[in-house]
Structure 1
């Protein structure tokens, strides 16, 4: 497997670290990002959330070198101009957050890759596959999405509750601030995003409900979602309230059900009874961790609180997909 990454923001750089941790960095052949190479090296080496990479990154004439492995680095602003084919890249991870339409992603194929993996949900014309939900349905499409961190952090739980016939879902994704917010009050097209991220709880609209309805069409028009951005640099607590057609008899019964599902989705989902807080979830590779202390059943409603590291968990799903695609080759 020969990988390329387009876009070295939080997800691109975290995926780089996951590859390094799993001794799989040799798979990465090409990086493309418009930032200067000196800045790329610095941001890969040092990270406020993750710490020092622990190995020296050296600059080369055409890229970077890490522990004897050389990676090409390019700075093209359009997918069609990136020399994927020349480097014989098989799969490109599209992580800019900019090129999310199918027409843009097809440009990667014209540039020489076999397939393009999108790190956000994309449009309905782009197949969506989520680990723990429908990854077995993958049909070897050349362009597909593995969703976002929030889809991966919530969809497996919706899947786990199908035994109770969920009828509706309300989700508030209490989410770390992101680079699309301002550190101080400043202009942004969306009014609430003009406010200082480190000093406010900021509610925003998100499209999580649309992605979940694609995955669970039986719940179409019965899923609602918002996000509340809070002053932490990483970590998510998703507050999920389901209405069930056939609810369990008690909260304890629901916990036992979730523990059984945990055994079936060991890499994806876990249940904890530890009194954790957001910093405790940092660097956890699971897509989601259910807080067992806050499983609440009332009549036909169940409230669940779900933790996840919005960068590390998702980047581990990227790594899972790179392994799956390698086995398909």
Structure 2
């Protein structure tokens, strides 16, 4: 792809992540060559425009949003909007996107995502881990695997993007033998507002705002796909908590040699200021989850919460599960297409 060419993006599924991707593109100056040219979302256009303008979590969108026929106008940019529920009916031949960001959360199989290619897209980036052979890419760790020859990739998960850089740093410095990860995640749209026949997981039938709710997670297996040396070394659990955004991850590991709070924090601070700048954050301020809302870094180490006992290390890492992940999707898309 010529350096001066605009990268044409289509978004399939304009929910939390889809809208954050569009907002992040306009609020950031990191990707000036990228432009959203098409959106496919079953919701009506008036609602799409309204939820683009106003967001309970991230505030008002700092750009003009208007409707013109079947198009969404963002400032002077024209975005074609379609409303298909099935990939069978999606047609990208007019907008001709270089890449489709698949943000519905419905598809994980390569065969399903190939329908975007058949519909006229050049590449597909999935907003969740996906099933093998789809490769998960985490910026700061394995973006060297990006190849112009690959048509379908994944941006992994928000939790993988948060915790795997921390794991990589601590393994490099202390050699991890085993570990347990607990994700403390804000509520999601697969939970009901009040108790309802909402899910086959009976815990997810309970009201999101009333309880701390354990849910299943595939994070442990996902770590091995990103960091092969860490395969089978972790167990993971996840809890949903009654907050609207910003989550945390507690990482407990056993390492080969004794460590200290100082050596652990120094290693994480150096990485945050060095090779993982913009990806890993580090804070020694006594902050709460809301202070990390709209933070574009994949994860921020809370240095004041680091605990060490002999060979056991425990760290707490905050992350905006919406905004940070949307920014990483744009980073992956940009790096990937620059290889063409």
Same fold (TM over 0.5): yes
> Does the C-alpha gap of structure 1 residues 12 and 85 become closer, same or farther in structure 2, counting only changes over 3 Å?
same
For residues 282 and 156 of structure 2, the distance between their equivalents in structure 1, rounded to whole angstroms, comes to: 22
Long gaps (5+) in structure 1: none
Equivalent of 1:7 in 8, 13, 30: 13
Pairing 1:210–2:221 present: yes
> For 1:244-263, what aligned pairs fall within 5 Å after superposition?
244-248=255-259, 250-262=260-272, 263=274
Which structure has more relative contact order (CA 8 Å, sep 6+)? It is 2
The SS at the match of 1:264 is: coil
- Pairing partner for 1:239 from 250, 253, 257: 250
Q: CA deviation at 1:92?
A: 0.3
Q: Which residue number in structure 2 is paired with residue 115 of structure 1?
A: 123
Match of 1:177 in 2: 187
2:107 equivalent to 1:94: no
* Aligned-partner Cα distance in 1 for 2:35–2:231: 39
Q: Do the aligned partners of 1:80 and 1:108 also contact (CA within 8 Å) in 2? A: no
Instruction: Determine if the alignment matches structure 1 residue 268 to structure 2 residue 279.
Output: yes
What's the CA shift for 1:60?
Answer: 1.3
Matching residue of 2:151: 142
Contact 1:16 1:25 in 2 (8 A): no
- CA displacement at 1:100 relative to structure 2: 1.5
Partner of 2:100, secondary structure, is: strand
Q: Does 1:158 align with 2:148?
A: no
Q: Give unpaired runs (5+ residues) of structure 2.
A: 1-6
Bigger mean CA deviation after superposition, 80-89 or 102-111:
80-89
Q: Which segment drifts farther, 238-247 or 3-12? A: 238-247
* TM-fit CA distance, 1:214: 1.4
**What's the C-alpha RMSD, in Å, of the aligned pairs?**
1.4
Give the distance between the partners of 1:25 and 1:260, measured in 2 at CA: 31
TM-score (norm 1): 0.96
Deviation at 1:26, TM superposition (A): 6.2
Question: What is the distance in 2 between the residues matched to 1:207 and 1:326?
Answer: 29
Mapped contact 2:137–2:332 kept (Cα < 8 A)? no
How far 1:245 moved relative to its partner?
1.7
CA-CA distance at 1:132 after TM superposition: 1.4
Higher alpha-carbon deviation: 142-151 or 217-226: 217-226
CA distance in 2: counterparts of 1:119 and 1:230, whole angstroms? 22
Whether 2:50 is the aligned partner of 1:42: answer yes
Residues 307 and 155 (structure 1), Cα distance of their counterparts in 2 relative to 1, 3 Å cut: same
Residue 199 of structure 1 pairs with residue 207 of structure 2? no
* 3-state SS of paired residue (2:318): strand
Quote the Cα distance in structure 1 between the aligned partners of 2:256 and 2:132: 28
In the alignment, is the contact (CA less than 8 A) between 1:270 and 1:289 conserved in 2? yes
Distance 1:328 1:137 in 2: 11
Equivalent in the alignment of 1:277 = 288
**1:32 matched residue in structure 2:** 40
Aligned residue for 2:3? none
CA contact (8 A) 1:236 1:309 kept: yes
Q: How far apart, in 2, do the equivalents of 1:68 and 1:86 lie?
A: 19
C-alpha displacement at 1:322, in angstroms?
2.9
